[in-house]
């Protein structure tokens, strides 16, 4: 294996290939950092430009873009409470409160190093465990997915704030919003109110921007004459080695969760970021700090998010099964260049496989260099007064939402969700459970209905399969632990 990896480095280490990696990382960070643009969109834009390139150079650019976009979404999430990508919505929970305390630079630095370290861990796992983890991921059928979603929803209680009841109400509302569109099994319209544009459901970007960005604009509009962002030195303030060292256990936890979730086809970065965040909060000695500016919260979100890059490439390269939407686009790139991912790729194009591994490792070194420059560039936002930044944010959100589907319905939905989130925040309802439930609803509903179809309506299928049973037991343990924590906290407050 070492010989093949060295051969891969030898093939990649040309000026053209290294420059392609650099441009890919820079373009990816830019695409992730601009709200409304996504890494998937960035890769799709680059693919036509790679037709005339060699497969190695093409994948140097594409994989560099993939890595860059995963980090880029954290920058606007921290600075202006607007996630640049869906997975960065979790970074908002603690990143923006840190920015309001004048620690935006520290938060972005932690996000960068958490991304780099978790990415390196995931890439090493990809190199050494690709085939093994891909075989495990194949054992996930509908019952395992359903139990995993149940486990995830139980953990949602961990980010429900001070009131579990309000958290449950928000999660139920998110689930209801997730049912809008065509029925996944029989394709009949549900809750579309006659709007054809809702047949595909509510766009995640629309909900996310409305919940976090637009509601923040409405909240800040009440604070006349004050600069609540307090970001004057956002580009200068940096995380110390002590901060990074304190976050290392969190980062490695996120790396493990990100690789495992990424290797399961169909989940992707957003559930990995949520799961890492809630698990980090659960094991923390000071869970009350999460959501109010905990540096570990930023590290958890970004490590879980970025580790899915290596994880999602595992089933793609070993089995030809894309792990998420972005790797589905990469699958198209493989086919365009006459390559078929799967076991045959390792037999017939082993040199290309290890060249891709080498490109992934080189991209890790470019990410902190490029990321730091983008942090300085975007930190200029800190010098812009609120009276300018929030109207501009509204315009960017509007353009981004409309540009995604060219739909006026999406604009009205964004406004509706923004106003609704404004009142939810005023009444103390957490937004996180709502977004988590919305994201998990399509996966969970489809898995449960498929499982019941396979078992002819019997619930035994969920407890007779070992992996499914393990997730259900973990869900039960999580509920017991969370109830005890909430009970103890309420007694202490009395």
Tokens, residue 385:
């007064």
Band of the pLDDT at 228, cuts 50, 70, 90?
very low
Nearest-angstrom CA–CA distance, 75 and 69 = 11
* Average pLDDT of span 340-348: 72
pLDDT at 234 over 60: no
Angle at 310 between CA 309 and CA 312, to 5 degrees: 70
Nearest-angstrom CA–CA distance, 469 and 458 = 15
Band of the pLDDT at 382, cuts 50, 70, 90?
low
Bridge partners for 181 per DSSP: 190
Band of the pLDDT at 333, cuts 50, 70, 90?
confident
Tokens, residue 389:
């930044």
Torsion angle of C-alpha atoms 283, 289, 290, 294, degrees rounded to 10: -100
Band of the pLDDT at 133, cuts 50, 70, 90?
low
Band of the pLDDT at 54, cuts 50, 70, 90?
confident
First CA to last CA across the chain, in angstroms? Answer: 61
DSSP one-letter code for 385? -
| Closest by Cα among 59, 50, 52 to 11 | 59
Share of the chain above pLDDT 90, in %: 2
Share of the chain above pLDDT 70, in %: 84
Nearest-angstrom CA–CA distance, 297 and 107 = 10
* Average pLDDT of span 264-277: 76
Tokens, residue 428:
């103390």
Return the axis-axis angle of helices 39-46 and 55-72, rounded to nearest 10°: 160
For residues 211 and 434, the answer to whether their CB atoms sit within 8 Å is: yes
Range with lowest mean pLDDT among 35-39, 315-319, 411-415, 432-436: 35-39
pLDDT at 160 over 80: no
Q: What is the pLDDT of residues 173-186, one digit of tens each?
A: 888 898 888 887 78
pLDDT at 94 over 80: yes
Band of the pLDDT at 423, cuts 50, 70, 90?
very high
| Closest by Cα among 279, 353, 253, 365 to 313 | 353
| Closest by Cα among 368, 365, 372, 367 to 9 | 365
More confident: 344 or 108: 108
Torsion angle of C-alpha atoms 94, 97, 98, 103, degrees rounded to 10: 160
Torsions phi, psi of 291, nearest 5? 95, -5
Nearest-angstrom CA–CA distance, 67 and 316 = 16
Nearest-angstrom CA–CA distance, 271 and 104 = 25
Nearest-angstrom CA–CA distance, 442 and 436 = 11
Tokens, residue 407:
């739909």
Band of the pLDDT at 232, cuts 50, 70, 90?
very low
Nearest-angstrom CA–CA distance, 441 and 434 = 11
What pLDDT score does 257 carry? 87
For the chain, what is the largest distance between any 2 Cα atoms, rounded to a whole number of angstroms?
Answer: 70
Which pTM value belongs to this model?
Answer: 0.70
Band of the pLDDT at 419, cuts 50, 70, 90?
very high
45: how many CB neighbours lie within 10 A of its CB? 13
């Amino acid at each position: 294996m070492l010989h093949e990896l060295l051969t891969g480095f030898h093939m990649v280490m040309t000026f053209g290939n290294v420059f392609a990696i650099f441009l890919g990382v820079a373009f990816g960070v830019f695409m992730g950092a601009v709200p409304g643009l996504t890494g998937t969109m960035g890769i799709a834009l680059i693919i036509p430009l790679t037709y005339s390139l060699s497969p190695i150079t093409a994948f140097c650019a594409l994989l560099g873009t993939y890595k860059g976009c995963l980090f880029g979404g954290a920058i606007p999430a921290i600075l202006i409470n607007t996630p640049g990508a869906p997975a960065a919505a979790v970074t908002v929970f603690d990143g923006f409160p840190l920015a309001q305390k004048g620690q935006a630079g520290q938060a972005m630095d932690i996000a960068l190093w958490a991304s780099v370290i978790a990415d390196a861990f995931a890439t090493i796992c990809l190199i050494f465990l690709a085939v093994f983890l891909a075989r495990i991921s194949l054992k996930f059928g509908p019952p395992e997915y359903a139990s995993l979603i149940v486990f995830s929803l139980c953990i949602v209680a961990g980010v429900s704030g001070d009131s579990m009841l309000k958290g449950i109400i928000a999660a139920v509302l998110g689930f209801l919003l997730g049912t809008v569109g065509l029925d996944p099994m029989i394709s009949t319209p549900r809750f579309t109110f006659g709007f054809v544009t809702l047949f595909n459901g509510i766009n995640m970007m629309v909900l996310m921007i409305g919940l976090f960005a637009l509601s923040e604009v409405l909240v800040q509009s009440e604070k006349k004459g004050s600069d609540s962002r307090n970001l004057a030195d956002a580009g200068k303030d940096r995380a110390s080695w002590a901060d990074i060292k304190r976050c290392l256990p969190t980062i490695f936890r996120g790396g493990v969760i990100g690789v495992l979730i990424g290797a399961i086809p169909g989940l992707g970065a957003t559930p990995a970021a949520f799961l890492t965040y809630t698990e980090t909060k659960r094991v923390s000695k000071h869970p009350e700090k999460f959501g109010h500016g905990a540096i570990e919260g930023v590290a958890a979100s970004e490590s879980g998010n970025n580790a899915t890059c290596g994880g999602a490439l595992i089933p793609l390269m070993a089995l030809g099964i894309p792990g998420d939407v972005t790797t589905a686009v990469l699958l198209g790139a493989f086919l365009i260049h006459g390559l078929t991912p799967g076991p045959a790729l390792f037999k017939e194009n082993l040199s290309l496989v290890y060249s891709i591994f080498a490109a992934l490792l080189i991209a890790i070194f470019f990410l902190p260099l490029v990321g730091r420059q983008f942090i300085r560039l975007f930190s200029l936002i800190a010098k812009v007064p609120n009276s300018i930044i929030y109207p501009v944010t509204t315009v960017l959100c509007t353009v981004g939402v409309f540009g995604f589907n060219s739909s006026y319905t999406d604009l009205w939905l964004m406004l509706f969700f923004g106003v609704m989130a404004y009142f939810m925040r005023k009444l103390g309802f957490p937004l996180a459970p709502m977004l988590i439930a919305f994201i998990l609803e399509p996966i969970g509903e489809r898995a449960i209905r498929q499982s019941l179809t396979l078992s002819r309506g019997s619930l035994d299928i969920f407890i007779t399969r070992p992996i499914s049973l393990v997730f259900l037991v973990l869900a039960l343990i999580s509920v017991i632990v969370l109830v005890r924590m909430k009970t103890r906290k309420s007694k202490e407050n009395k």
